Amino acid sequence: MNAIINNWIPNNEEAPALFEIFERCFPLFPSTDHKNALKLITLKVKGHEDGIFVARVHNKIVGFAFLRKSHTPSSARLVGGVLPEYRTKVFGQSLLSTILNYAKKKNIHTIITTTFESYLDSQKFLCDNHFEEVDRIVWSNRSLDVDLPKKLFDTLARVEESGVQFLNGIEFEKRRSDWDQKWWKLQMAVLKDVPSTIPFSDTPFEEWRPLIDPPFWERRNVLFAVQEGKLVGNLILGKLEEGVINIEPYRRRQKTPPNGDLNSIKGQGICLSKEQWCQYNFNPKSSTKPNIGPQLSFGFSGCGCPN
């Protein structure tokens, strides 16, 4: 059985097929509303719009690959996958070869991608094609049936007494006309401080801004820590799915005195999750040598590690 590899012209009819392939390849990742597949793909490939490739068998899309911008013009992030039932047909190899040829024409010399430690076939494929592991993200989870430790509530009371306020996204937006600019600046500043062997560069505001609007993020599921009128931290809850919700990496300005605000904003996020009838939280921690001590103190336990 042969596949035809060709450029994909973005369209509403076929965009959900790419999402379905990705979700079947990476079931540990949260799913995305397929109704907004084309919008999200368009945002993700900005700068590489002509570099979306698909593998078709009898006109059915069975695999895809595209590049996203990375930290330098000469590097890019690879996103893609092939339906499990077609993985023995070398379609993945054909897609990768096509993407590498495209990257070469664009003067891209470094390709970065992500997989999970438990996905042995994926790891073997990448190793066979000369990818090397350079960083890890450790995921942990906790059941929301387990009570939060009393010391967390003591910390929360102490933080609030110090003047830190916790606002959801709707409340924060009402307080500041420049709320999105402040959020963007905080995220860019904090991401620079994440210990990683992969360099970081700011995402331009005009590219970042559409990604915080519904349906990608719900304002009520974003928490902001504000002290003396300044934004000092934030936390994002992902989409509730089958009783599970992700806590996206929480953030605090490095030069801001902690005062327990990291622990307290995590606690606020867990409480908000319980209000939405969640059963479990997942929390990713990005670092070459991640410090998961705080997660363990909250009752989280290690559950997976994307490479």
Of residues 223 and 151, more confidently modeled: 223
Kindly tell me if the per-residue pLDDT of 291 is higher than 50: no
Percent of the chain with pLDDT over 90: 38
Kindly tell me if the per-residue pLDDT of 261 is higher than 80: no
Kindly tell me if the per-residue pLDDT of 231 is higher than 50: yes
Contacts of residues 167-170 at CB distance under 8 Å and 24 or more positions apart, as own/partner, are 167/223, 167/224, 167/226, 168/219, 168/220, 168/221, 168/222, 168/223, 168/224, 169/217, 169/218, 169/219, 169/220, 169/221, 169/222, 169/223, 169/224, 170/219, 170/220
Report whether 140 contacts 298 (CB < 8 A): no
Kindly tell me if the per-residue pLDDT of 149 is higher than 60: yes
Kindly tell me if the per-residue pLDDT of 252 is higher than 70: no
Kindly tell me if the per-residue pLDDT of 156 is higher than 70: yes
Most confident residue range from 72-76, 136-140, 294-298: 72-76
Give the pair of three-digit tokens for residue 275: 């209000």
CA distance 179 to 191: 18
The per-residue pLDDT for range 27-38, each reduced to its tens digit, is 877 777 788 899
pTM, full prediction: 0.76
252, with CB counted inside 10 A (0-12, 13-18, 19+), is buried
The per-residue pLDDT for range 49-80, each reduced to its tens digit, is 999 999 999 999 999 999 999 988 999 999 99
Provide the residue type at 307 as one letter. Answer: N
Report whether 36 contacts 215 (CB < 8 A): yes
The confidence score (pLDDT) of residue 296 equals 45
Name all domains of the chain by residue range, CATH numbers in brackets: 4-133 (3.40.630.30), 138-304 (3.40.630.30)
Lowest mean pLDDT segment, chosen from 5-14, 41-50, 86-95, 260-269: 260-269
The confidence score (pLDDT) of residue 268 equals 67
What's the rounded mean pLDDT across residues 167-185? 93
CA distance 143 to 234: 22
Report whether 156 contacts 267 (CB < 8 A): yes
pLDDT bracket for residue 255 (50, 70, 90): very low
Report whether 64 contacts 54 (CB < 8 A): yes
Kindly tell me if the per-residue pLDDT of 210 is higher than 50: yes
Of residues 162 and 301, more confidently modeled: 162
Kindly tell me if the per-residue pLDDT of 91 is higher than 80: yes
